[in-house]
Amino acid sequence: MKRRLFIKRSSGLVAAIAATPMLTQAGINNHISKNMSKNKQEVITHYVLFWLKKGLSEKEINDFTGFFEELRKVPNIKSLHYGKAANSTPRDVVDNSFTYNLLVYFNSLEDLETYGTHPIHLKAIEQYSQYWEKVVVHDSVLK
């Protein structure tokens, strides 16, 4: 009788010991997952399309990139990218009518707001706005 009781208790103990690493790992994974979602930082994007005026020379169109290089100097920019419309296959949903696009990433909405009113940004607009006829801005929060 004592032997049966010993075996029964021992097998329960062995099962508990065997399950401990799995439970511990599950707990760790759950903790990491919760912390990641708490600390997951949103990214703010500032996407701008520029249609430059008709009649500009190729040199003036290329010189317009100076605008983007000036904007790079504004603090709190996470990254800044710009380029011309791609010569992708025409489709109903594709609009390649713009001349340049700008994509700027920020860590927070506050950084975007600072950028929008920063003297470097305002001076660059004043200097280069003579080149464009239309500008469209899309600000987004990425998850």
What tens digit of pLDDT does each residue of 66-118 get?
999 999 999 999 999 999 999 999 999 999 999 999 999 999 999 999 999 99
CATH of segment(s) 43-142: 3.30.70.100
Q: Residue ranges of the domains in the chain?
A: 1-40, 43-142
Please report, for residues 33, 78, 136, the alpha-carbon distance to residue 102 in angstroms, rounded to integers and kept in the order given. 34, 14, 10
> What would the pLDDT profile of 3-42 be if each residue is shown by its tens digit?
666 555 655 555 555 555 555 555 554 544 444 344 568 8
DSSP 1: -
pLDDT of 135 strictly over 80: yes
Taking each helix axis as running N to C, give the angle between helix 119-128 and helix 109-117, from 0 to 180 degrees, rounded to the nearest 10.
Answer: 50
Give me the residue label for tokens 């000036």. 70
Query: E strand or H helix at 26, and its extent?
Result: helix 2-39
